[in-house]
Structure 1
């Protein structure tokens, strides 16, 4: 088992009710980490989609047919309008600022995707550790329950 350091407890020495409580606590922590990981994946996906949309903003894609999402399962036909791109061009004639805005937008989404990915990489090992801890705790709990049942059966056999 674990070495006895400050704040550590040998879970093999815990009684059955405390082991049950520890399993429940670990299940709650696993649920929290899983939920956090799912939220991070969702955020990552949204940033990737936004980055992909920004990559399509160019004069070559003006008036192309697209499907516009109304809900997660319903889309309507539409056309890509580069009104904002053209507006930037009109306001910034003679300068290369439009391309800089697009480049900065792409860099922004790359930074956000990298940040979310790093956070996911931090959560995944914690989640794996909690799963291992729960598995070990469950094994010890099952052994203790089996030992208790066997000792009760042995005590019942002695009385007979």
Structure 2
């Protein structure tokens, strides 16, 4: 009769029936999951930022560079690693090489490359929204577990020996 919801989900557990060690274990597991999901969220944001940078590079370096002197504007910096760049020259302003993942590169027109990267940015945005919902739900679950754990500990302290809180002086 004291149920808080009308129909519990199948497989759901009433956390108020769990012991303190079980609640602490669940709290630890949720904290670990939240850390992992938060790290994944940051990595997705970084990937999205890199795809946006690719779009900017195509727009600023290839397309806008075509309006000036071809010999002067065809020089670019080519990334060899995240921190190492070498000078290069554009052979063709209409086509670029696109990293499509797992070490594969495809030649695409600048318009198709921009479309490809915009699709990646949009896909990551959808994934980020979904992940944010999961993060929010896990955070809510963690708060509920912490509240129940706090209540159990307070109830346990009320029934515990009062002499244990006697302070203890000494230097």
Task: Give the TM-score of the pair, scaled to structure 1.
Answer: 0.74
**Contact 1:48–1:109 (CA<8 Å) still a contact in 2?**
yes
Q: CA deviation at 1:76?
A: 8.3
Q: Determine which structure has the larger strand proportion and give its number.
A: 2
RMSD: 2.9
Matches of 2:112 and 2:25, distance apart in 1? 51
Specify which structure has the bigger relative contact order, considering alpha-carbon pairs within 8 angstroms and separated by 6 or more residues. 1
Q: The residue matched to 1:8 in structure 2 has which SS?
A: coil
Q: Which of 154, 157, 166 is matched with 1:146 structurally?
A: 154
Higher helix proportion (structure 1 or 2): 1
2:38 match: 34
1:137 aligns with one of 122, 139, 145? 145
> What does 1:38-117 align with in structure 2 at a 5 Å threshold?
38-56=42-60, 57-58=62-63, 59-60=66-67, 62=70, 63-64=72-73, 81-85=89-93, 101-117=109-125
Residues 107-147 of structure 1: CA deviation (Å, up to 9, x unaligned)? 11111111111111110000011111111111110110111
Change (3 A) 1:36 1:70: same
Structure 1 residues 155 and 14: CA distance shift in structure 2, 3 A: farther
Segments of 5+ residues of structure 1 without an aligned counterpart are: 89-99
